[in-house]
Every structure is written in structure tokens, then in C-alpha cells.
Amino acid sequence: VGQQLYYLPVCESTNSEAQQLLIKNKATEGCTVLTSEQTKGRGQRGNTWEAEPGKNITLSVILSPVFLPVRQQFYLNMAVSLAVLDLLHEYGATAARVKWPNDLYFKDKKLGGILIENSINSHTLQHSIIGIGLNINQLNFDVDTATSLSAITGTTIHLEEVTSRLLELLEKRYLELRNARHAKLKYEYLQALYRYQEVHQFIVDGKRTEGCIVGVDEDGRLGVQLDGELRFFGFKEITYII
């Protein structure tokens, strides 16, 4: 990962750039697109991703998880989330967690997000574009629900160094996935899950309810115990109240 590296000072979105490289057949597995500034950064659920130029990690990695059946694609989310979490832990943000499905949180503030875009060939994944946005040295945010590694640790972080470490950790977790260490990945993901096994407030079917996260299923849906009943939710079906 990162052997083939494209650095663009400015671009619309590294995920879109990575897509273009794939279309033009210019990418080998592990190819990474890195930028200092995105003008149309994309987030999950059609959101935008905003970050102050030059201060944060904004990159996309192209992988070819052809060994992974489409039905198990959530394992890729877990492996990538764990890689970013490994980095945060190494840099001193030991209380960092993954908010399902793959947001990086420190206490009740978001410090990063992951956008994975897959292409599928019959029953397995063909290409995956792993977009990672991680707040590193940014200290001022438009919202008070965001934070950065620097704000947490009180130090300025060497951006190139932290970026190359992330790529190493991503490769390590990806190899675990390729070696079918599924149980290990899932176990560690659950251990790192924000609000796991805690009673918490959610919005379900437009109503505020109390529930307890008990796991994720094979499809990556969140398992929540609600009023004595175990229910599984997809992306848009449940909202956390933070």
C-alpha cells in the first residue's frame, strides 16, 4: 500500500480521482491518491467532507479484495476502521473508538470518517476505493462535534510521517483480512465499538428509544437490544443521539 503514490496539491475528491485511475487502467493494487485540499470531498450518505487545507489526512487507497465475497464486504469496513484506530491509539488517542459503521470518534467528537466504494464482479469484490479523511492538525472547526488528533494530544503532528504510518497499518489489517482472520477482526472491531454494550438513546422509526448495541451481523447491520427484542438496523434505519 502506497508504493504507487499520486500526490495532488488540490483535487475535487481523492475517491473520484482514484476512480478515474481505475477507469484508465493506471492503478495497481495499493495505489494511493493523496491531496492537501479537496474542493468536493464526499462523505457517507451523500454528505460532504470538509477539512482545512494542508492540515489533515485526505487520501484514497485502491484495493482489489477479489477474495472477499460480496456478502462479507463488511469485513473490509472492519479492517479499515481498525487500521485507522491502530494509528490513533499509537499516537496517543487511546480513548478513540469506531462509531458504527466506520466513523472515528474520540469521546463524543468525530475525528475522522471512511468512505468505501466497491465495484463487484459476480459474487466477489473487484475493486475497492478506500477513502479516509482524518483530522490531524486542524484546531478550528465549524461545529463543536468535531476534533483532531492534535487537539486531543496537544502536540503538532508530522503529517507525512503519520500518513505513511497509516498506510503501513492499513496494509497490516488488509493482510489479516486476506488471511481470513475474520473472527479476530470482528472481535477487535466490537471491542473498539463506540457505545458497545452500553444503554444508549437512539432514534428508531422516528421515535426516541433506549437500547443497547450487542453486535453486528454478517451484512454489517447493527444489532441493538430494544425493549427485550433484538433488532438489526441498516445505515439509514437508526440514529444515535450524542
| Contacts to ligand BTN by CB under 6 A | 13-15, 38, 41-44, 47, 49, 58-60, 103, 113-115, 131-133
As measured in angstroms, the least distance from the Cβ of 119 to ligand BTN is: 16
| Residue number with CB closer to ligand BTN (61 or 216) | 61
| Residue number with CB closer to ligand BTN (47 or 197) | 47
As measured in angstroms, the least distance from the Cβ of 179 to ligand BTN is: 27
| Residue number with CB closer to ligand BTN (114 or 167) | 114
As measured in angstroms, the least distance from the Cβ of 129 to ligand BTN is: 8
Q: In the chain, what's the furthest Cα-to-Cα distance?
A: 52
| Residue number with CB closer to ligand BTN (68 or 166) | 166
As measured in angstroms, the least distance from the Cβ of 123 to ligand BTN is: 27
| Residue number with CB closer to ligand BTN (61 or 125) | 61
How far is Cα of residue 23 from the mean position of the Cα atoms in its chain?
A: 24
β-sheet with 57-63: strand ranges across:
5-11, 32-38, 57-63, 124-134, 109-121, 103-106, 96-99
As measured in angstroms, the least distance from the Cβ of 228 to ligand BTN is: 32
